[in-house]
Amino acid sequence: MSVFAIPFFYSKMPIIIQNIAVSLGGLRLHHTRKGKMFYKTKADIDRIVALKEDEISAWQLDKVKKIVAYAYHHVPFYRKRFDGIGFRPDDLRSWEDYRQLPFTTKNDLTEHETEIVSTRVKKSMCFPVYTTGTTGKPRPILTTRDAVVAHYAHFSKIIEMRGIDTDSRWVRFGGTKIVPEHQKKSPFWRYNYFEKQMYMSIRHISRKTVKDYIDALNRFRPVYINGFPSVLSVLAGWLCENNLRGPSSLRLIICDSESILPDQRKLIESAFSCKVLDYYGMAEKVVFMAQCEKGNYHVYPTYGAAEFISEDMKPVISGLGMIVGTTLVNNATPLIRYMTEDIARVTPSCECGMGGQPVSDIEGRMGDFVYTPSGKIISPTLMEFCMRNVRNAKKVMVEQDDIKMLTVHFYPDREFSQDEADDFVHVARELTDNEIEIRTVVHPEPPPKTIKYRFVLSRIARQSHWNKALGSNNPTH
């Protein structure tokens, strides 16, 4: 996700001016993230997570009551929905009452785009936090300043728990178009001086450019790196293949946006000689989870009220369940019992002693890489940018059986149009440098029903691991 809005003329600026523009955007975020509210929120997190389990439950229920009442009075979508079932905020007295409330779905975000936003907030004072997706309509989530602060406070806490100062130099690997798409030569990164950050574009990583990225990392000497595990495993594979190591200053790698596979974790930790920490968050601001030293994820009760629901809509105490959450931080788009469509494996307990519901794995954000004949490597998260104008698809899946061919499967909603498929193909061609033929299939039948879902399925990727592929001219199937 990103809160950066890139103006249309940015790509025409000289690189030095782009760095200044990025830093000015970073200055605004720095003031937002590091004000008095930031330190108060961190103190509140420490205070709440130190409480006993029943005290946390009571505190959280009180917060849920307030957000539900707020939504009823200030969000037209929830007022209409709750009136439709005869519910009033005073009816919410217990967690059992809460579990009777209807779910909010991704389709609701699409079909009620304006009604689901609070009438009480000033939109000009909010951030549109951009997210991508593989079902429904990708859209900005209107987010209050306090919600941005709350997210960054939780992010900072998980870093500080590992003994690292969040004011250290750091690198973000992301998909925001911080480097123009047409740029073919290094540098494929820009600097955010006020946050001591180097932002590296994942759109330009290939077998030809990976050494440039590694050299830049070694020159910058970051203390921690934040990015997608699929992208970081590309760099790790290249390092291992060439018997090299990453910057000696590096103490932690933080992964997000995709499920991290055991082989990816092992490869990244070996190549960069430091631990990998994975966390789970989203633009919708309903759930925040981070790994403990035992490798389990723990839900932070100060961020959102999380549930785990089986396919038959029953609570899951142990095993696979969809992550459902109610925000406690974002009054601009106060989502209640929001179905994330991500899947977690719930475990009853964890030996680490931390509070919060433990989860052993998050299995919903799965996907393979897409390869091009010239060696460009495209992560599943980056492929999600192709969904920017796909507004009426129940599900989209991308298959790669051949190095020169992609097949995109659309499972349409009633208003789906060929223009949406064409736009997907247009963006995919940009990402793959027009090296791959892309065909589309529109299916009249409903999408396959499965609790596990892969947006990108590459049979090439399964047979050609990153570190091996980087040592050859072309991956083959």
Query: Going residue by residue through the chain (477 aa), what tens digit of pLDDT does each one get?
Result: 454 556 668 888 999 999 999 998 888 778 777 788 999 999 999 999 989 999 999 999 999 999 999 999 999 999 999 999 999 999 999 999 999 999 998 888 888 989 999 999 998 888 887 665 544 445 678 999 999 999 999 999 999 999 999 899 999 998 888 898 889 899 999 999 999 999 999 888 887 898 999 999 999 999 999 998 888 988 998 898 888 888 999 999 999 877 787 888 999 999 999 999 999 998 899 999 999 988 899 999 999 999 999 878 889 999 888 899 999 999 999 999 999 888 888 998 899 888 889 999 886 555 577 888 887 778 777 788 888 788 888 888 899 988 899 999 999 988 899 999 999 999 999 888 899 999 999 999 888 765 456 788 887 744 343 333 333 333 443
Q: Identify the CATH class of 34-168+223-296.
A: alpha beta
Domain boundaries, the chain: 34-168+223-296, 370-469
> What is the rounded CA–CA span in Å between residue 214 and residue 251?
16
With a CB cutoff of 8 Å and minimum separation 6, the contacts of 239 are 214, 245, 246, 271, 272
* CA-to-CA separations, 421 to 140, 223, 412, 435, 440, in angstroms, rounded: 21, 42, 10, 19, 7
Helix (H) or strand (E) holding 61, with range, is: helix 53-74
Asked if the domains 34-168+223-296 and 370-469 are classified in one and the same CATH topology, the answer is: no
Amino acid found at 69:
A
3-state SS assignment for residue 384: helix
Helix (H) or strand (E) holding 361, with range, is: strand 358-362
How much is the pLDDT for 136?
Answer: 42
**Angle at which helices 210-220 and 229-241 pack, to 10 degrees?**
90
Looking at the domain 370-469, which fold is it? GMP Synthetase; Chain A, domain 3 (3.30.300)
Instruction: Output the DSSP codes for 267-313.
Output: HHHHHHTSEEEEEE--TT-S--EEE-TTS-EEE-TTTEEEEEE-TTS
Residue 358, both tokens: 């433990």
Closest CA relative to residue 174, chosen from 379, 28, 456, 13: 379
Torsion 159-163-166-168 (CA) sign: negative
Burial class of residue 302 (count of CB atoms within 10 Å of its CB; 0-12, 13-18, 19+)? buried
Helix (H) or strand (E) holding 409, with range, is: strand 405-412
Residue 461, both tokens: 């990727």
